[in-house]
Amino acid sequence: MHNEIIQPKLHSQSQKCFLVLKKYLKGGLIALIYRNSVQANLSHRLDEQHILTTKIFGFLIHPNIPLISPSIKIADVGTGTGIWLLDVAKSLPPTCQFTGFDVSSSTFPPPHSLPPNVTFKNQDMLLPFPASEIGTFDVVAVRFLSIATTRAEWALAIENLLTLLKPGGWLQWIDSCNFTLYNSVAGVSRSACQEIFDGLEPFRSKDDVVIGMMMRESRNLRREDLFREVGLVDVHEDVFSSDRLQEPELQARDKGTRNAIVCFLGCLEDLTKEEGSGWSKARVERLKKDAMGEIDKGTYCTLDQVCIVGRKA
């Protein structure tokens, strides 16, 4: 298991941008947001993202994954605030065990607030896990850790996560892709939101990007095949549009669009630190103001929410 991301070939103008992306991939999307958001707002956004996504999917753990044992052990990698793990813990017997891993502990819940069967630990998902954790989990769940990840990078991450699973254990990976902008009102501009998304092109310029919030699918990427290639069986992929959620009281379109745009702006803010990127703080701030105005007037986005599961043979 290598500790470094496999670096793909890039166009020369993208080299510096990839160095920024490489840092994010090692810690995931969550680590990126940690560095670019006020802590209270971060926790709120992560929890809001969880609520909306769970409503879209209609499950916390995919129905193909059996939850029969009263002593099942579940890991949540890239746990953030731990909201997913805590919701799962509430739905299963107290004899089950739950562990949340994240590269940063900054949004972990206070230890005194946790039930005795839930723990949180610091861990980079691309570094070897401690020997005490290897082969001990029945389910390993990952959510929203990809920005624009190539097939080789994703395989590296999956192989490391598989070390946590018992034989017969399940991996569940949830992520977003295929960001698309729409109007809900005629005559409303989408230009600022589009400029923000277009500014992320350096992150998407790698060859063979297969999953991640910034990517767009130009063909059937056959993500299930990658799960099978690393040895997983009973592989299944579900893809739901974020527009599937039709509950006006949740304001899902508005909240989901703002959530995505703020995440993208965080990436662009870090590009302002890279010489020759073409991005400045003033430009980012202008686009943030204009984009939020467009959303106020009815611009919104959809994302494909992807859930892939597979069982360790």
Least confident of 238-242, 250-254, 289-293: 250-254
Mean pLDDT of the region 2-20: 31
How far is the CA of 307 from the CAs of 1, 172, 210, 254, 302, in angstroms? 25, 7, 13, 23, 16
CB contact set of 51 (below 8 Å; sequence gap of 6+) = 250
Write down the pLDDT at residue 42.
Answer: 63
Mean pLDDT of the region 89-114: 94
Determine the distance from the C-alpha atom of residue 248 to the mean position of all C-alpha atoms in its chain, rounded to a whole number: 25
- Distance, in Å, from the CA atom of 232 to the CA atom of 250, rounded to the nearest integer, reads 36
- What would the two tokens of residue 208 be? 């063979």
Mean pLDDT of the region 251-269: 90
Mean pLDDT of the region 258-275: 90
**What does the pLDDT look like over 110-166, one tens digit per residue?**
999 999 999 999 998 888 999 999 999 999 999 987 777 888 888 888 999 999 999
- Distance, in Å, from the CA atom of 72 to the CA atom of 204, rounded to the nearest integer, reads 38
Among 33, 6, 3, residue whose Cα is nearest residue 153: 6
Percent of the chain topping pLDDT 70: 86
- Distance, in Å, from the CA atom of 83 to the CA atom of 170, rounded to the nearest integer, reads 20
Radius of gyration of the chain (CA): 19
Determine whether 26 is exposed, middle or buried from the number of CB atoms within 10 Å of its CB (0-12, 13-18, 19+). Answer: middle
Least confident of 36-40, 112-116, 251-255, 284-288: 36-40
CA dihedral 155, 177, 27, 141 (to 10 degrees): -70
Give the confidence band of 8 by pLDDT, cuts at 50, 70, 90: very low
Least confident of 100-104, 188-192, 214-218, 272-276: 214-218
**What does the pLDDT look like over 157-206, one tens digit per residue?**
899 999 999 999 999 999 988 999 999 999 999 999 999 999 988 877 77
Q: Could you tell me the residue ranges of all domains in the chain?
A: 12-312
- Distance, in Å, from the CA atom of 276 to the CA atom of 250, rounded to the nearest integer, reads 41
Write down the pLDDT at residue 216.
Answer: 78
Is residue 145 within 8 Å of residue 115, measured between CB atoms? no
- Distance, in Å, from the CA atom of 228 to the CA atom of 239, rounded to the nearest integer, reads 18
Mean pLDDT of the region 229-246: 92
Q: Which is higher by pLDDT, 46 or 311?
A: 311
- Distance, in Å, from the CA atom of 28 to the CA atom of 41, rounded to the nearest integer, reads 18
Mean pLDDT of the region 236-260: 88
CATH of 12-312, one of 2.60.40.1120, 3.30.70.20, 3.40.50.150, 2.40.50.140: 3.40.50.150
Q: Taking all residues of the chain, what is their mean pLDDT, rounded to a whole number?
A: 84
Give the confidence band of 14 by pLDDT, cuts at 50, 70, 90: very low
pTM of model > 0.95: no
Write down the pLDDT at residue 36.
Answer: 41
> What is the sign of the dihedral through the CA atoms of 306, 28, 77 and 104?
negative
Among 130, 117, 121, residue whose Cα is nearest residue 72: 117
